[in-house]
Amino acid sequence: MRTKLLSTAVATTAVTGLLAAASLAPAATAAPLVETGRSGWDWDRDKHHGKYLSKKVTGKRVFEHLEELQEIADENGGNRAAGTEGYEESAEYVERVLRRAGYETERQYFPVTLFDLEDLTVEVPGVELEPIAMTYSTSTPDDGVVAGLVEPAIADGCPASDDPAAPHEDSWAGVDATGLIAVVQRGSCPFGAKALAAGEAGAAGVIIYNNADGALNGTLGGANEGYAPAVGVTATEGAAILAAHEADPSLQVTFDLQATTTDAESFNVLAETRRGDDENVVMLGAHLDGVDEGPGINDNGTGSAAILETAVQLAKDKRINNQVRFAWWGAEELSLVGSNHYVADLVENDPEELEKIAAYLNFDMIGSPNYTIGVYDADESTFDAPVTVPDGSAAAEEIFTDYFDDTEQPWVDSPFSGRSDYQAFINNGIPASGLFTGADAIKTEAEQAIFGGVAGEQLDQNYHGPGDDLDNVNKEALDIMSRAIGHAAQQLAYSTEAINGVEPDDDRGHGHGHGRGHGHGGGR
């Protein structure tokens, strides 16, 4: 029996790092009941090659890794953020488990700028606000500012652009923002571009309000002294600020944001199977770091633990045609730094190795408490992608959707937005897919009917907060997604034919590949 799927809006406002490009995505809209189709994959021939790991990579085993990550967070100030001892010990745990399973591990180091928020106050008379500082925001003067509000000529506050794919007029043309607090809408360009445009217009600060339900927890993508100090608020809060400004154009706002940045070093953890063709590599990745505010167990202990258990179980499989490489990315929460470094290093130093990557699968938050079972919508059957979708990505998507259909597990599309660690891969033409159970998007009634949970609440009510601990993980979602990850890894280890046309070599499965080496620099 094929399971019909209701492709409803799963408005993914995922981790902070992926929000640097978040404003590029259109608002999510509901889609009708649809059937999925096969990609030409010879399912009857190949599907058994993924069955073993779908039975071995279980939520129970993955949760045991999460217990270790929670203990690490508890012993290190309550978090596992980049640049902290909690991150170091998280990496050491991953490395120990991998070595016990027979892998060689490597660390790939890179520079990173750490962001520390010291104080934040934004007060608009008559409006209740819970603003969130944008990562890498500049600071206001020590005592903050008290100033009026200003709106750009174009609501999104983006600078002029002559990009043929996304032309844009100067939002601040003819507007004097000197010394005022800008109020702009999310959309059309990255948050950093908005903060820089507001700063160049003379604004003393910028409030960016969401264009969809949920909080706006974003990053400016890197430090820049030209940014106006920037915070994010919800769509409802933004509407209230604009209404207050319309009612009283002379309204005075208090805006005080104090933050520091520090140059530091972080690293990725990398490992790959000993078996399989190293000319046709499949990659699985998840970010290992969390935010400063909490343990980061759903975001993203869950993805990290799931690919760790997948690596453990795949090491036992003798029928591997294609080498499988695993990556635990560092500093994702600081704007995808680790994954961007990995790909940039290949582009600059070893482009032939980059071309050997047949597909990249990304797993970021797979145990959300108010979950949906989301699959990146590479075929754009529900959401128009705001990025170029590499050829082969739709076939990668169907590895997951066909598996869910085969097991009669309902699922929904999640926008293929490029807002997580697959961004650098798709920017370089590598097919990608992934799974996601939701962050701060609001569950719809249609999604409640499919997956249970509570409509009108966030998919992860503790997203980027101190409550993102073991109790925040939905074990049912974790089990569903973990088994699917195991299935996809084993399936692609056997054959990537549907993605890149490379046929499986049944004589290779019991042997070794063409040698070892991760195909990247920067390790030590």
What is the CATH number for 127?
A: 3.50.30.30
For residue 189, tell me if it sits in a domain: yes
Q: Distances in Å between the alpha carbon of 504 and those of 24, 49, 500, 507? A: 38, 11, 11, 9
pLDDT at 404 over 80: yes
pLDDT at 86 over 80: yes
The verdict on 470 and 365 lying in the same domain is yes
The verdict on 139 and 86 lying in the same domain is no
Mean local confidence (pLDDT), 95-119: 96
For residue 431, tell me if it sits in a domain: no
The verdict on 329 and 280 lying in the same domain is yes
Chain segment 171-228, per-residue pLDDT in tens: 999 999 999 999 999 998 999 999 999 999 999 999 999 988 878 888 998 999 999 9
Query: Catalytic: which of 237, 332, 333, 447?
Result: 332
Mean local confidence (pLDDT), 135-158: 97
In a 3-state reduction of DSSP, which class is residue 363? strand
CA–CA separation, 229 and 227 (whole Å): 6
Residue 120 identity: L
Rounded to the nearest 5°, which phi and psi values hold at 327? -135, 130
Rounded to the nearest 5°, which phi and psi values hold at 468? -80, 75
For residue 493, tell me if it sits in a domain: yes
| pLDDT-derived band at 30, boundaries 50, 70, 90 | very low
For residue 2, tell me if it sits in a domain: no
* Whole-number pLDDT of residue 508: 53
In a 3-state reduction of DSSP, which class is residue 132? strand
Last residue of a domain, one of 212, 227, 262: 262
Domain count, the chain: 2
Mean local confidence (pLDDT), 472-499: 97
For residue 516, tell me if it sits in a domain: no
What value does the mean pLDDT of the chain take?
88
Torsion of Cα atoms, 11 then 13 then 14 then 15, to 10°: 180
Last residue of a domain, one of 239, 262, 285: 262
For residue 450, tell me if it sits in a domain: no
The verdict on 312 and 213 lying in the same domain is no
Mean local confidence (pLDDT), 277-306: 97
DSSP of 399-418: HHHHHHHHTT---EEE----
* Whole-number pLDDT of residue 386: 87
Beta bridge partners of 233: 209
- H/E stretch holding 122 reads strand 105-123
CA–CA separation, 173 and 70 (whole Å): 50
Which pTM value belongs to this model?
0.83
* Whole-number pLDDT of residue 10: 32
The verdict on 488 and 352 lying in the same domain is yes
Determine contact, residues 210/238, Cβ cutoff 8 Å: yes
CATH number at residue 54: 3.40.630.10
For residue 508, tell me if it sits in a domain: no
The verdict on 169 and 97 lying in the same domain is no
* Whole-number pLDDT of residue 31: 29
Calculate the CA 170 to chain-centre distance. 30
pLDDT at 325 over 70: yes
The verdict on 124 and 177 lying in the same domain is yes
* Whole-number pLDDT of residue 40: 36
pLDDT at 3 over 90: no
First to last CA, the chain: 51
Torsion of Cα atoms, 321 then 352 then 394 then 275, to 10°: 20
Q: Distances in Å between the alpha carbon of 422 and those of 11, 83, 329, 405, 427? A: 18, 22, 11, 24, 9
Chain segment 418-453, per-residue pLDDT in tens: 989 999 999 999 999 999 999 988 899 999 999 999
The verdict on 370 and 334 lying in the same domain is yes
* Whole-number pLDDT of residue 51: 59
Catalytic residue check, 151: no
Domain span at residue 154? 115-262
The verdict on 381 and 461 lying in the same domain is yes
In a 3-state reduction of DSSP, which class is residue 198? helix
The verdict on 146 and 192 lying in the same domain is yes
Find the DSSP H helices in 75-143: 85-100
For residue 409, tell me if it sits in a domain: no
pLDDT at 7 over 50: no
The verdict on 329 and 221 lying in the same domain is no
* Whole-number pLDDT of residue 29: 28
Determine contact, residues 410/477, Cβ cutoff 8 Å: no
* Whole-number pLDDT of residue 37: 32
Q: Which range has the worst mean pLDDT, 21-30, 57-66, 410-419, 478-487?
A: 21-30
Beta bridge partners of 108: 268, 523
The verdict on 171 and 278 lying in the same domain is no
